Structure 1
Amino acid sequence: MTGDTARALLRDAGTTLAAAVATALGTLALVPVFTDGDWRPPVLAAVVAVAASGLLLRVAGAALADRLGPGGTAPGWWTTLVILAVPFGQLVVLTSVLTALFAPEQAWGGWLPTSESLGDLGAVMADGTVEMAEQSTPALPLTGLVTLTTLLAGLVAVAVDLVAVGARQPALAGLGLLVLFCVPVSTVTGTIGVLPVAAPAAGLALLLFADQHRRLGRRSPEGRRPLLGAGTLTAVRTGAVAVVLGLVVGAVVPTLTEGTFSGGFGGGGGGSSTGTALDPAAALQGQLTLDEPVDLLRLNASVPDPGYLRVVALEVYDAAEGWTIGNLDGETGVADQPELAPLPGQRGGRPVDALLTALGHEDRFLPVLYAPQAVDVAEPDRWRFDPGTGTVFGRDVSTAGQTWSVAAVEPRPAPEELVAAAPLEPELPLVQRYTALPDLDPGVDELVASLTAEAQTPYERVQAIYGHFTDPANGYEYSLTTEPGTTDDDLADFLRLRQGYCEQYAGAMAALVRAAGVPARVVLGYTPGTAQPDGSRVVTSDDAHAWVEVYFDDLGWIPYDPTPIDTDRAVELPWAPRPQDLEVDPRTDLTTAPLPVPSAPAPRDQPTPQDVPAPQAAPQEAASWVPTALRTAGVALAVLAVAAVPAGLRALQRRRRLATGSPAALWDELAATALDLGRTADPARTPRQVAEALAEAAEPGGGAHRSGRRPHTRSRVAAAVARLARAEEAASYARPGSAPVVGPELRADLATARRGLLAAAPRGARLRALLWPPSLLAGLAAALPRPRWGRGTARRS
């Protein structure tokens, strides 16, 4: 291996390392996409594997080149083959890494892919695509999602390595980091933090540094490359500017508001349900339209009074959207665990077994009893269990035509156990997850404070809030047709108007319990239905219901039902008794279709009960245009930033040539300027002939001067171009070591020639040259290694 080849490999090794570190920094943009960092080790393994395999393949290619050509000079076809083989080999290694991490069972040695292991890997990725539809950000790092994330990071690493090392354009490779940055920008609601912006910006800065250092770093006469050689300080300044701009732009540019990968369970609406199913969202508003009741389920239970049939728990509260589903953990199948939802502390409860048959029920959520220990259903591998919410949900399967059995242990806490339950530490993840609230109306906060002022324990706080809704003296009425509110806050409207159905009662109580510092959530499901002569029960659409679950230390989730439904439908909860004289319409208080959103009504006067502070109406802010203006400005900045990328790269290319300072580099920059302005040169013409054509093109007609400088006459431009052409010829044909030295005069000639060409070009041509310079693509094509058949102006970029 020759010295030149060794030095080239050393440069490639440095660029490879820079590309790998930059990609690793770019993956930190995904931090806000996941709830924790379990995704990072496999992603880092993929990036390292791609970099190492690329370097090894290039070293092997150089070693074989010694055998293919004299002095280590390989033929052109071999160079092209190596360029194509490296990314292909990296993809093979990436597939092996994915196999070893996520589908090793049927692979050779646990990592070498086979047809069977590739099938398993494809199944894991298919699960990942389903999990994308189920998850909202921040998402749980489920196996399928992590697999897809690792694949994405690996592909970006291959692309960055190919452009930075293979094409020798590290600066251009920085665009690959934009792919990673787009993930949080398009999926995360609200701010994404400093690290996801600063880390990719630092990665881009590193690639810019590698580009400058590779092209401009010079060796001393002793053969050593100085640490701060030519262009290095420029690279450092450029990198620092990139980081600062990343932080500034990241703080200004708004993020999208969806907050999901593909809608997710939490999207509200009816997208997550089909047929006769509960809409998995509980809004605190609505005008309910009832159809004739539909028989949904037949229930055969081991006890005469089974409790609620849980369908799904809603844990995310938003003032505008109401209660929605959070992220469901789809890692556990219903047949994977001996006990699905054991009670905390191995506490006892009431064992209940049930057999359920779907009559008219069709949903991807499976109704089950409280605290299910085991679920026996057809195709159990397609039914998943989320231990956090006790929800059973299907993948590409529904309850239609299904029969399933459930073995459960219903919680039956004694009142004294609830009274003794200690407050939970605020730092616990469960507390933070189930007490999260947006800013509430001041009237709501005042109501919670007044209700819980004398409560000493979590149970007392919950009982005070529960009593507020169930005490007839407080004037709450059950109604399927509610009066429209007068503010944009449905929770505040319900607490003021005190009229609604179960979704509103449950949603309001859960929000107030959270505001009191106790974990709570809303649950959708069914009351146990009507007893039949044969001992079974039939659950109809009239039995659809919503209630509240509150978490107590060492007791788990305990149901509360604040809705004043008919006693024949109500489930007896000894720790939360209800007044016996409440009789209401026995029909359902949940619709089987998505809840309609009423149009905004004109404000009307409503009486306000004396014991509840009236919520403050949302003020009509004079500066309501500010968020829209900021968002518009942010989008405009983002568009301008993207549009400025070609101009920035072209400026870097021009600065690199000027810093190199050779006659060839200055001549190439003049040729690039002419190409950007739409003037191409015949490669068969000599530099002097090209100079004559350029001087002819630089007519002073449009050259009345911009920026206050004097017009450049044709003679001055022609003289400058001629001197550049002579210097290029002298450098190209001079004996080795006798090339002319470039001084400030020749750089000044380049500036004169460029200004003359720009002044003579039409305004449209100048604008195109700035926003989309054609010389960039020409330079990229010229930078690709290829056989050298001779010298000429086309050989340089």
Structure 2
Amino acid sequence: MRRTDVRTPVAAAAATVLGALALSPVLSSGTWVRPAVDAVLVVLLTGLALRYAGQAIAARAFPRRPVPAPLAALGTVLVPAGQLTALTGYLIARFTSPGGIRALVPTPDGIEALLAVLRDGADEIREQTAPALPVAALMALIALFVGLVAVVVDLLAVGGRQAAFAGPTLLVLFGVPVFTLGGDIGLVPVVGPAAGLALLLWADQSRQLDGAARRSGRHHAGGGTAVRIGLVAVLIGVLGGGMVPTLAEGSLSGGPGGAGSTGTALDPVASMVGELTRNNPVDLLRVETPVPDPGYLRSVTVDRYDADAGWSPGASGALLPLDAQLPVTHDQTTGRPLTARIEALGHDDRFLPVPVAPLAVQLRDDGNRWRFDPLSGTVVGSDVTSEDRVYEVTASEVRPTPEQLAATPPLRPGDLQERFLALPPLDPRVTAQVDELVAGVEGGYARVRAILDFLTDPASGFDYALSTPPGTSGDDLVDFLTERRGYCEQYAGAMAVMVRAAGMPARVALGYTPGTVQDDGSRLITSDDAHAWVEVYFSGLGWVPFDPTPIDVDRRADLPWAPRVVAEELPELEPDLSALPPDLALLDPVSPLGPDLGSTDPTATDAAPADETSFPARAGLVLLLAAVAGLPAGLRLLQRRRRLALGTAGALWDELTATADDLGVPRDPSWTPREAGQALAERTAGSEGAEAIQRLARAEEVSSYGPGPDVQDDGLVAALRTARRQLVEGAGRRTRLRAAFLPTSLPGAVRAALPGWAVRRPVLPGPWRGSRRA
């Protein structure tokens, strides 16, 4: 095979790989790269083999004449069909079979197994959130997606010899992070496809110039124009990428998360106070565990704090299936093994209560519809609830000693601190209180203990109560610290804010206390056991619970590293239900520092202020509209540059007639080049343009009817520039604008290029060249 026969397919494959880099921020690790690259290699090698075989067969069957057009068209279609077959075989062998050559041949059973894997991948897209965990089913779907893009790019760039039209196909890959991620998507998703486009243009221009060099016997300077266009594309992507409007962070399908909670359960956007104030408690869970003093059962965590709205859930992490190895953030030597069998009695919720730091969760049925979010430490169901469920949990409950906590190293900068240390501007009275408590205190654990002691010390004057007087400061946190009266969520919410202000990552956990021991040794958890506490992150130990709320000794979990100041002298105050205001049940548990009577949609994410999003969104929309409006002009410019790079009489005459079509000059397809040249010369604004047109017409006539090859002539390029300038100057302003942004010659050139794929003509036929040779 000739050198150009290999260069373009390889460039198309490399461009697809570069474009696939746009998927990197959508997935949590890089394990998807190998299957995707292998899929592109399968497409590349299959295409090279089929085209080489086709050329060999054509050379034997038609040694001295060209291949008939129908057979050439059939060969063009068979190549992508073979590539799709090979890609299917690779996916079956990679994701459904143990291996072997036989697995590479698609069979009905193999295709059925592959379809089952792809359906699982589609389920992962609906259930996971970005950045997603690249499980096997999802990697199969990604490999198929990238492989299909590789087939299309190869068909356009190699089979159709229209690499410029193959470039926009890479935008399909770029669109994935744009429509699934919120905020910045990074440079790689922008630079990767832009570099792929530059590579395609360089390969196409080099192929065109190689052909012209072979005809003229001269060497070309390379694809400098394509490289410059690619660099401009990269620059535009880097500068304008941040202005592309994006959707909210989270679902891979671009939609919101799962449904909200139902029934008698803790819901991050429903009122926990409703559980605390029931006159008749409801039996929720029965727990069987050999451990005499189990810790809290965590349902959900909230880690996003707003001074007005309080605490709310943050974005989900990569959701793991329960049969996967669940990650543990602490050394298991510092944890206590714990097993528990939990039966849902009256509990009906999409969040499954589990001990802190679960290692495995086993459900008797529908286990594949539950996922574990390692970022929030919660088990969440997809279109399923905990009603009548029985499940077993194995956990490694972190049980550090005060000495271990004091010896933990400082946290290193990273995403954990960015998310779990984030705070809005706080009232100066809050920061002054925190500064007073941690002044001169060294070490993260010592600072956390100082804040805990402040909230649990009787001398501080804090009281447990469900009824709190209305505040006057306009800040719920300030009101709580001033009135010093509240319930568990206000204690936990206040401590989490103060701990973050002291420099330690913290979040609020919602769940249940261990409940009361029954005669059979099991523990019964009722709605009275609904509770909120604080979890603080320590290096090497993970999330460690702290509980500042003064509840009864019999109800609270045993936390030796977080003792209360004179704890046994602080019995829980019985709530005075008669004193509750009638609207107390509307209090939002994710806003523990005050009521929030707004939306109760658990899937809604915090909307950014209009000031921050309106300008980028509008600017991105304007940029997108401008790109769409300028697409015909850009394609027309690429076409003109390609013809100028060729420099042959035929290519330059095509450009001249295309310019005349764009300007609306009447034409007759039956005209010869000489007749067309005379008609065009009459339209020019001066004799210089008329002379240039006549020269181009004579060159085209000699090239079409003369015995010599269609060679380059350096003077013809200058003649074309002069002729185009004179034609444009002779048209009106409106005509010039229409010709620039709505070139009428472009659709005809595209239609003329389609049948040219079979015979692989490098130059688009112009509408004035009715007498051109085939």
Normalising TM by the smaller chain, what interval? 0.7 to 0.9
CA RMSD across the alignment: 4.6
Whether 1:308 and 2:296 are equivalent positions in the alignment is: yes
Whether 1:187 and 2:180 are equivalent positions in the alignment is: yes
Structure 1 residues 370-393: Cα deviation after superposition (integer angstroms, max 9, x where no partner):
454654421345545556665444
Aligned to 1:750: 723
Aligned to 1:655: 641
Aligned to 1:784: 757
Whether 1:510 and 2:489 are equivalent positions in the alignment is: no
Distance in 2 (alpha carbons) for counterparts of 1:167 and 1:738: 22
User: 1:782·1:794 contact (CA, 8 Å) conserved in 2?
Assistant: no
Aligned to 2:700: 728
> Counterpart of 2:742 in 1: which secondary structure?
helix
For residue 764 of structure 1, report the CA deviation from its aligned partner. Answer: 7.8
Aligned to 1:260: 250
Aligned to 2:58: 65
Distance in 1 (alpha carbons) for counterparts of 2:259 and 2:516: 30
User: 1:565·1:585 contact (CA, 8 Å) conserved in 2?
Assistant: no
> What does 1:179-578 correspond to in 2, within 5 Å?
179-217=172-210, 226=219, 228-229=221-222, 232-251=223-242, 253-256=243-246, 258-262=248-252, 271-280=259-268, 294-302=282-290, 306-314=294-302, 322-324=311-313, 327-328=316-317, 330-331=319-320, 333-334=322-323, 344-347=331-334, 349=336, 354-372=340-358, 375-379=361-365, 380-385=367-372, 390-394=377-381, 397-406=384-393, 410-419=397-406, 421-426=407-412, 432=417, 435-437=420-422, 440-441=425-426, 443=428, 447-472=433-458, 473=460, 475=462, 478-479=465-466, 501-529=487-515, 537-552=523-538, 555-565=541-551, 569-578=555-564
For residue 591 of structure 1, report the CA deviation from its aligned partner. Answer: 8.0
Instruction: Name the CA shift for 1:96/1:785 in 2 (closer, same or farther; >3 Å).
Output: same
User: 1:371·1:408 contact (CA, 8 Å) conserved in 2?
Assistant: yes
User: 2:92·2:110 contact (CA, 8 Å) conserved in 1?
Assistant: yes
Instruction: Name the CA shift for 1:52/1:323 in 2 (closer, same or farther; >3 Å).
Output: farther
Aligned to 2:119: 126
For residue 25 of structure 1, report the CA deviation from its aligned partner. Answer: 1.9
For residue 81 of structure 1, report the CA deviation from its aligned partner. Answer: 1.6
User: 1:282·1:507 contact (CA, 8 Å) conserved in 2?
Assistant: no
Instruction: Name the CA shift for 1:134/1:525 in 2 (closer, same or farther; >3 Å).
Output: farther
> Counterpart of 1:545 in 2: which secondary structure?
strand
Structure 1 counterpart of 2:685, which letter? H
Given candidates 33, 58, 62, the residue that maps to 2:26 is 33
> Counterpart of 1:71 in 2: which secondary structure?
coil
> Counterpart of 1:404 in 2: which secondary structure?
strand
Instruction: Name the CA shift for 1:276/1:630 in 2 (closer, same or farther; >3 Å).
Output: same
Distance in 1 (alpha carbons) for counterparts of 2:473 and 2:647: 72
Distance in 2 (alpha carbons) for counterparts of 1:773 and 1:757: 21
Instruction: Name the CA shift for 1:169/1:461 in 2 (closer, same or farther; >3 Å).
Output: same
Whether 1:55 and 2:54 are equivalent positions in the alignment is: no
Instruction: Name the CA shift for 1:387/1:30 in 2 (closer, same or farther; >3 Å).
Output: closer
Distance in 1 (alpha carbons) for counterparts of 2:535 and 2:218: 68
Structure 1 residues 241-282: Cα deviation after superposition (integer angstroms, max 9, x where no partner):
22222222225x1452512234899x68x7354554433569
For residue 505 of structure 1, report the CA deviation from its aligned partner. Answer: 3.7
Number of residue pairs matched by the alignment: 741
> Counterpart of 2:248 in 1: which secondary structure?
coil
Structure 2 counterpart of 1:774, which letter? P
Instruction: Name the CA shift for 1:19/1:140 in 2 (closer, same or farther; >3 Å).
Output: same
Structure 1 residues 213-243: Cα deviation after superposition (integer angstroms, max 9, x where no partner):
22234665798773615xx333333233222
Structure 1 counterpart of 2:630, which letter? A
> Counterpart of 2:132 in 1: which secondary structure?
coil
Q: Percent identity?
A: 45
Query: Of the two structures, which has the highest relative contact order with CA contacts closer than 8 Å and spacing of 6 or more?
Result: 2
User: 1:275·1:363 contact (CA, 8 Å) conserved in 2?
Assistant: yes
User: 1:132·1:264 contact (CA, 8 Å) conserved in 2?
Assistant: no
User: 1:159·1:173 contact (CA, 8 Å) conserved in 2?
Assistant: yes
Instruction: Name the CA shift for 1:514/1:85 in 2 (closer, same or farther; >3 Å).
Output: farther
Deviates more, 1:440-449 or 1:137-146: 440-449
User: 1:218·1:225 contact (CA, 8 Å) conserved in 2?
Assistant: no
> Counterpart of 1:296 in 2: which secondary structure?
strand
Structure 2 counterpart of 1:248, which letter? L
> Counterpart of 1:174 in 2: which secondary structure?
helix
Distance in 2 (alpha carbons) for counterparts of 1:321 and 1:225: 73
Distance in 2 (alpha carbons) for counterparts of 1:520 and 1:344: 19
Distance in 1 (alpha carbons) for counterparts of 2:653 and 2:303: 66
Distance in 2 (alpha carbons) for counterparts of 1:57 and 1:496: 79
Distance in 1 (alpha carbons) for counterparts of 2:585 and 2:339: 27
For residue 415 of structure 1, report the CA deviation from its aligned partner. Answer: 4.3
Distance in 1 (alpha carbons) for counterparts of 2:23 and 2:669: 47
Distance in 1 (alpha carbons) for counterparts of 2:380 and 2:427: 38
Instruction: Name the CA shift for 1:100/1:311 in 2 (closer, same or farther; >3 Å).
Output: farther
Given candidates 44, 66, 86, the residue that maps to 2:79 is 86
For residue 161 of structure 1, report the CA deviation from its aligned partner. Answer: 1.6
Aligned to 1:609: none
Q: TM-score of the superposition, structure 2-length normalised?
A: 0.80
Q: TM-score of the superposition, structure 1-length normalised?
A: 0.78
Distance in 2 (alpha carbons) for counterparts of 1:257 and 1:486: 36
User: 2:84·2:151 contact (CA, 8 Å) conserved in 1?
Assistant: yes
Structure 1 counterpart of 2:207, which letter? R
Distance in 2 (alpha carbons) for counterparts of 1:712 and 1:290: 90
Structure 1 residues 96-137: Cα deviation after superposition (integer angstroms, max 9, x where no partner):
333344333388655544444444443443343333344443
Aligned to 1:138: 131
Distance in 2 (alpha carbons) for counterparts of 1:728 and 1:555: 80
Structure 2 counterpart of 1:215, which letter? Q
Aligned to 1:598: 597
User: 2:269·2:589 contact (CA, 8 Å) conserved in 1?
Assistant: no
> Counterpart of 1:563 in 2: which secondary structure?
coil
Structure 1 residues 640-692: Cα deviation after superposition (integer angstroms, max 9, x where no partner):
13322221120121122234333322332233234445678564454456567
Distance in 2 (alpha carbons) for counterparts of 1:456 and 1:192: 38
Distance in 2 (alpha carbons) for counterparts of 1:534 and 1:289: 26
> Counterpart of 1:261 in 2: which secondary structure?
coil
> Counterpart of 1:202 in 2: which secondary structure?
helix
User: 1:365·1:392 contact (CA, 8 Å) conserved in 2?
Assistant: yes
Unaligned runs of 5+ in 2: 578-583, 600-608
Distance in 1 (alpha carbons) for counterparts of 2:262 and 2:107: 39
Aligned to 1:632: 618
For residue 76 of structure 1, report the CA deviation from its aligned partner. Answer: 1.3
Instruction: Name the CA shift for 1:563/1:679 in 2 (closer, same or farther; >3 Å).
Output: farther
Structure 2 counterpart of 1:639, which letter? L
Instruction: Name the CA shift for 1:629/1:304 in 2 (closer, same or farther; >3 Å).
Output: closer
Distance in 1 (alpha carbons) for counterparts of 2:347 and 2:469: 28
> Counterpart of 2:531 in 1: which secondary structure?
strand
> Counterpart of 2:146 in 1: which secondary structure?
helix
